[in-house]
Amino acid sequence: MKAALQNYHARMQRVLDYIDQHLDSDLDLETVSRIAAFSKFHFHRQFTATFELSVHRYVQLARMKRASNQLASRGAASVTEIAMDAGYDSPDAFARAFRRRFGQSPSSFRKSPDWAPWLAAFGPLEIARSKLMQTTYTRDDVTIREVLPTPVAILEHRGDRATLGDTIERFIRWRKGAGLSPETSPTFNIFRSERTPENPAEYSMDLCVGTGRPIDAQDDVMKAGVIPGGRCAELRVNGASHNLEPAALYLYREWLPASGEEARDFPIYCQRYLTFPPGEAAHAVVAEMFLPLK
């Protein structure tokens, strides 16, 4: 039974990888079902049952996410070119869909992205991509590296994870007001508790933005801190950042006991990419997990 489920997940993972890598292609149901080696007559229902999104909806969200990343990166592509790449017949149709989803025009988003509705809009996509994450990691995915200390501004979230969205919005408003763009100032999360502790009130996470500027001691949102340098086990999380717990559990439960290493007295943390790193495809790297080592 376990082998059959792993095979099923592997086939579905092939589909997600293919879609992410062929967003410019005609991703019709027959093509996508063939990649999974499933009957096209049943594949649509199988996909929807697995990911809680239809194939069409998944492709639509993936293309829109790439388009928003292209806009935020302020590259050479025009809004018209980005609209065509996203599968829209005209810039006007793209602009209407974009504004409906994000509350900003494409041109306004390119100048000053509002990340709160962006995060909310792609929640279903990240949930879908996270459903197969537990099957993807091996020892070859983990690299031990030295990292430098990083001064950060920290917003502490303490309490029920259900209120995390409000904390994220406060964090985004603060960094926008401070002029700390995700493109130039890295985003980190420090995980100080399990994702779903037995007592929801014990959920604890720090939202951080890298900055060397002084933080006013009277600031009622952020405080100054440092993510320490040193040896870390690094694990890249490909394709999803909605739920990083499978990656953290892999590092703790499987990699660490087999590695002979010992964890340092600092929580596991990640660096998130709200757009994407230079030189990487939009679907390729969304987060990097770091487990500090002695």
In the structure encoding, which two tokens stand for residue 292, read together? 């500090």
Interval 138-195: pLDDT, tens: 888 999 999 999 999 999 999 988 888 888 888 988 988 899 988 789 999 999 988 8
Name the DSSP letter for residue 221.
S
149 lies in the same domain as 281: yes
What pLDDT score does 226 carry?
96
179 lies in the same domain as 53: no
Task: Report the 3 state secondary structure along 3-35.
Answer: HHHHHHHHHHHHHHHHHHHCCCCCCCHHHHHHH
165 lies in the same domain as 278: yes
Q: What is the CATH number of the domain that holds 284?
A: 3.20.80.10
Choose the final residue of a domain: 130, 148, 178: 130
**End-to-end alpha carbon distance in the chain:** 40
200 lies in the same domain as 219: yes
Give me the domain span that covers residue 246: 136-292
Residue 238's pLDDT band (cuts 50, 70, 90): low
Interval 14-33: pLDDT, tens: 898 899 889 988 888 888 98
**For residue 1, pLDDT beyond 50:** no
69 lies in the same domain as 114: yes
Interval 82-136: pLDDT, tens: 988 888 888 899 999 999 988 889 988 888 887 778 877 887 887 777 777 555 6
* Residue with the larger pLDDT of the pair 186 and 241: 186
Q: What is the CATH number of the domain that holds 64?
A: 1.10.10.60
Choose the final residue of a domain: 130, 146, 168: 130
Average pLDDT, the chain: 84
Q: How far apart are CA 240 and CA 284, in angstroms?
A: 9
Choose the final residue of a domain: 72, 101, 130: 130
Residue 69's pLDDT band (cuts 50, 70, 90): confident
**Taking Cα atoms as reference points, which of 240, 173, 171, 235 lies closest to residue 206?**
171
141 lies in the same domain as 279: yes
202 lies in the same domain as 111: no
Q: How far apart are CA 164 and CA 202, in angstroms?
A: 13
175 lies in the same domain as 245: yes
Q: Which residues pair with 188 in a beta bridge?
A: 208, 271
26 lies in the same domain as 125: yes
125 lies in the same domain as 150: no
278-287 average pLDDT score:
53
Domain count, the chain: 2
What pLDDT score does 196 carry?
77
